[in-house]
Chain A
């Protein structure tokens, strides 16, 4: 399977890029300890019903995983600018296999980031049953689908110079609206945030609290964003490859 081989090399490359590795996994961890460690004895954070270490574990997982997924945008834009994408077009590798490799590599990084935060969480006293860990993780992985498509879209719309600042800024805003830095319980941010898939990553905590996952609204937000962004990614890819 040619596509799988490409994925294997893509993963190898992703994990060899040390600087990227350090920043994309290091930042969320450092921020987690800075925010959650001083509040490690807060058992009901701002009326959410869950402890500060658990809340921020998910908050920063939302931040870290979104950043990992969108980072494929920078990688794609770079490979386009370098002419590598054109070189690949004169091999039998299909665009579908190329994107699959990018998405799988993004997921691998997102999962790594998430697992590191889980470990950090347990050091601050987060303790959940195996079922809760698994279901929570499952929901997070689903909520990342739209960001996989967003990375591909940005990779084809932006050039190398603009994609870095754009994705950095975008992740900061998305994290803010998702409740990474503090719980959103009411008001304007809460109204907007609910329509952002990242918000539902943080809401995956409901499994720990109520024992059930997302509301219908949560599923709808994630599914609709995924569909919209997949369509946008296709348009961006078509436009881009017809021009060259």
Chain B
């Protein structure tokens, strides 16, 4: 099947940061099929937004090619095939929500009916309000509506839930899934692993301008190691601890030991059985930031994640 997005050898370097040129994207190949819902994951500065900008034709790659529905991003945008919600952006003032959506709709040859957009984005109760009077979450939904206006084949969302509260997020993802269920392709960037897990079929992990993992979300989750056990334990050696079931890697600072576990339940049972002296036990979910550091380290220097984790602390 013809891919929706095809990125080949994409490179983008920005001149003049405080530490010299910033290599924001360092060679990305990515192909997204029609109908997929893909999460682009990564910590801040991973290159997600730069990649999205190039997909949308907002910035030109230094090298490599971008093809959207077999065309240039500009042509795809002009044809109304792409809708996007950028990471930053405020709404223009002195128009009502309805007028704003009508304004954007008037720019396209063909657009979704006004009331359908308003309903889909959950803006019915604020449709006649001026844009400058919307709350943060409502403004985000209005920006979502703008992305939906051309009824695009490809919907791109760059960190769409940033200003939303918990309820707002839930509603937003519901609306997004409803749209994806129409057979549309959706690509969204986020740094929340849970959002990717709940809403995407496939996750693409970026770190330091490269793709470090790409696959079904279930697979990625297994890779990043789910939990961390912290424990005060003077005697055990790293080798002994790593031999415990469910433990991935370990790290020791004096008497304090940190165990990164694929299966923290099994690890905890074994730990208590083998070392009754273990105390001050804490089990925490692995932060995504940590998981990324781990995955990046694997790619960047080929050494074990353990040494890299120790070094970055």
Contacts and interface: CB of A to CB of B under 8 A. Distances in A.
B36 to A, nearest CB: 20
Closest 6 CB pairs of A and B: A83-B89, A5-B106, A82-B90, A16-B94, A13-B94, A9-B103
A75 to B, nearest CB: 9
Interface of B: 56-59, 77-78, 80, 82-84, 86, 88-95, 99, 102-104, 106-109, 143, 146, 150
18 contacts: A5-B107, A9-B99, A9-B102, A13-B92, A16-B94, A17-B94, A82-B92, A83-B89, A84-B91, A86-B89, A87-B143, A87-B146, A89-B57, A90-B58, A90-B83, A90-B84, A91-B108, A244-B58
Given A84-B89, A90-B77, 19 more contacts: A6-B103, A13-B92, A13-B94, A79-B92, A82-B90, A83-B86, A83-B89, A83-B90, A84-B92, A86-B89, A89-B57, A89-B58, A90-B57, A90-B58, A90-B83, A90-B86, A91-B104, A91-B107, A91-B150
Instruction: Give the most central of A13, A82, A90, A244: most B CB within 10 Å.
Output: A90
A47 interface: no
A125 B150 CA distance: 56
A82 B89 contact: yes
Contacts of B88: 83
Chain B interface helix/strand/loop/mixed: loop
A6 B106 CA distance: 8
A17 B130 CA distance: 12
A100 B108 CA distance: 18
Contacts of A128: none
Contacts, number: 69
B107 A87 contact: no
Contacts of A93: 107
A93 B105 CA distance: 11
A87 B150 CA distance: 13
Interface size class of A (residues with CB under 8 A): 20 to 34
B183 to A, nearest CB: 22
A92 interface: yes
A234 interface: no
A83 B159 CA distance: 15
Nearest to B103: A9
Interface string A1-45: 010011001001100110000000000000000000000000000
B106 A92 contact: no
A13 B58 contact: no
Nearest to B146: A87
Contacts of B99: 9, 12
Given A2-B107, A92-B77, A92-B108, A87 B95 contact: no
Nearest to B78: A92
A83 B108 CA distance: 20
Contacts of A91: 77, 104, 107-108, 150
Nearest to B102: A9
B90 A92 contact: no
B139 to A, nearest CB: 11
Contacts of B91: 82, 84
